[in-house]
């Protein structure tokens, strides 16, 4: 087997490749470390008419208990390159391969005094998944600093580069997510600002930094990590009972301003809050408001630490569902459905799952 031919194994357990540690086996699986290996793996599947699933760090996906048919490609391309943006003083283009750990990239850019990713500190997973989900935290969405994305276009059977304007980014959404059968992310280029100030846009982060810290990139990163650790949103070892998780399991819902006003009135009448401002509700323009899914879940009667067999709600944060070991994806999805129905019945708001349930042509 040559260096451009990946080793393809049969019947490989997939739970070790995900942070939730759930699900069945891959019918076939290969790890790819180069673009040539990726092309060869896709050709192998095409010749046999096999479906393909691409998997990165497994931090925002769920594997079905029945496993995955066809070929699962685990992306492990590595490398980070830095260059000054042509004609843009102070702007640095940072190109990271899809298999780079995203947290490592954030730490490296903050260490180089490059502003733009500091609010995304502590997010698990690999670089390649960040544009698919348009990951965001503490006031920053990654799409705000993405310059371009290198992809393999399976429809055209060639590598291509998508500028950020071709990616159709939305809240926890992108063209890549909406068309998972077509593109495989192989690298992401971020446009970061040399010597820029840390972003303080999120109220909770602003409160933490108001305790005397300056808004340096390092201080913003430290504050974000502290906030995430308090919610068990940083994967740091086996001692944390909440470690088997995908982080936020539900997307913060976006509803009309009129519907949000009605929900606030409901919360006041039912005594859930004392003041209108106690309901986490943020205007995002165009007559729309974003609600806190965690607030809705708690007020619908689901508390931290709730356990249903081998799965449950994190003891630190109601937005995270966790696996305690020995469970199934079916059990986890059943708990998620109970929560979703409970919130809908109480508030008339539909929660949407954030992690992707894997199947042929999907992945993150």
Q: Which domains does the chain have, with CATH numbers?
A: 80-230 (3.30.465.10), 250-354 (3.90.78.10)
pLDDT of residue 361: 52
| DSSP 8-state secondary structure symbol assigned to residue 335 | H
pLDDT of residue 138: 92
Whether 188 contacts 96, CB under 8 Å:
yes
SS (H, E, C) 218-272: HHHHHHHHHHHHHCCCCCCCCCCCCCCECCCCEECCEEEHHHHHHHHHHHHHCCC
Q: Are strands 25-32 and 68-75 parallel, antiparallel or unpaired?
A: parallel
| DSSP 8-state secondary structure symbol assigned to residue 13 | E
Interatomic CA distance for residues 181 and 164, integer angstroms: 19
Please give the mean pLDDT across all residues of the chain.
93
In which residue ranges of the chain is pLDDT below 70?
1-3, 211-214, 236-238, 360-364
Structure tokens at 305: 């630490």
Interatomic CA distance for residues 57 and 53, integer angstroms: 13
Structure tokens at 223: 């504050």
pLDDT of residue 220: 95
Structure tokens at 103: 């947290």
Q: Dihedral of CA 146/143/184/225: which sign? A: positive
| pLDDT tens profile 178-199 | 998 899 999 999 999 999 888 8
- Give the helix, strand, coil percentages of the chain, each rounded to 5: 30, 30, 40
Interatomic CA distance for residues 1 and 274, integer angstroms: 68
Whether 320 contacts 248, CB under 8 Å:
yes
**Catalytic center residues:** 172, 248, 354
pLDDT of residue 3: 67
Interatomic CA distance for residues 183 and 180, integer angstroms: 6
| pLDDT tens profile 284-296 | 888 999 999 999 9
Q: For the purposes of burial, counting CB atoms within 10 Å of the CB of 47, is it exposed (0-12), middle (13-18) or buried (19 or more)?
A: exposed
Structure tokens at 161: 């580069």
pLDDT of residue 362: 59
pLDDT of residue 238: 66
Structure tokens at 350: 């539909």
Question: Distances in Å between the alpha carbon of 85 and those of 88, 169, 212, 328?
Answer: 5, 22, 34, 47
Whether 182 contacts 153, CB under 8 Å:
yes
Interatomic CA distance for residues 239 and 258, integer angstroms: 45
Interatomic CA distance for residues 183 and 166, integer angstroms: 12
Structure tokens at 120: 């995304």
Interatomic CA distance for residues 347 and 266, integer angstroms: 8
Interatomic CA distance for residues 267 and 278, integer angstroms: 9
Structure tokens at 70: 């066809």
Interatomic CA distance for residues 323 and 246, integer angstroms: 10
Residue owning tokens 């689901």: 302
């Amino acid at each position: 087997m040559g260096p451009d031919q990946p080793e393809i194994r049969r019947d490989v357990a997939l739970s070790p490749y995900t942070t939730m540690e759930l699900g069945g086996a891959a019918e076939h699986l290969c790890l790819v470390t180069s673009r040539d290996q990726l092309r060869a793996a896709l050709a192998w599947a095409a010749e046999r008419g096999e479906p393909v699933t691409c998997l990165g760090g497994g931090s925002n996906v769920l594997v079905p208990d029945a496993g995955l048919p066809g070929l699962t490609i685990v992306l492990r391309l590595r490398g980070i390159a830095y260059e000054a943006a042509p004609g843009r003083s102070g702007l640095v283009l940072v190109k990271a391969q899809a298999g780079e750990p995203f947290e490592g990239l954030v730490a490296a850019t903050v260490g180089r005094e490059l502003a733009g990713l500091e609010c995304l500190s502590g997010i698990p997973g690999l670089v390649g998944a960040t544009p698919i989900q348009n990951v965001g935290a503490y006031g920053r969405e990654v799409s705000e600093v993405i310059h371009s994305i290198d992809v393999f276009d399976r429809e055209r059977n060639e590598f291509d580069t998508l500028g950020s304007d071709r990616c159709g980014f939305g809240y926890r959404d992108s063209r890549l997510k909406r068309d998972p059968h077509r593109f495989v992310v192989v690298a992401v280029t971020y446009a970061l600002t040399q010597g820029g100030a840390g972003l303080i846009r999120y109220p909770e982060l602003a409160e933490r930094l108001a305790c005397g810290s300056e808004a340096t990139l390092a201080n913003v990163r430290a504050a974000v990590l502290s906030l995430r650790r308090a919610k068990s949103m940083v994967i740091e070892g086996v001692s944390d009972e909440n470690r088997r998780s995908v982080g936020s399991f539900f997307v913060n819902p976006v509803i009309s301003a009129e519907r949000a006003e009605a929900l606030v009135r409901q919360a006041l009448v039912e005594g859930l809050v004392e003041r209108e401002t106690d309901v986490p509700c943020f205007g995002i323009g165009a007559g729309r408001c974003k609600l806190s899914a965690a607030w809705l879940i708690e007020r619908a009667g689901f508390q931290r630490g709730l356990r249903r067999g081998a799965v449950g709600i994190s003891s630190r944060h109601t937005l995270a569902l966790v696996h305690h070991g020995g469970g199934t994806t079916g059990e986890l999805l059943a708990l998620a459905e109970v929560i979703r129905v409970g919130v809908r019945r109480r508030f008339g708001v539909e929660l949407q799952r954030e992690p992707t349930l894997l199947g042929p042509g999907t992945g993150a």
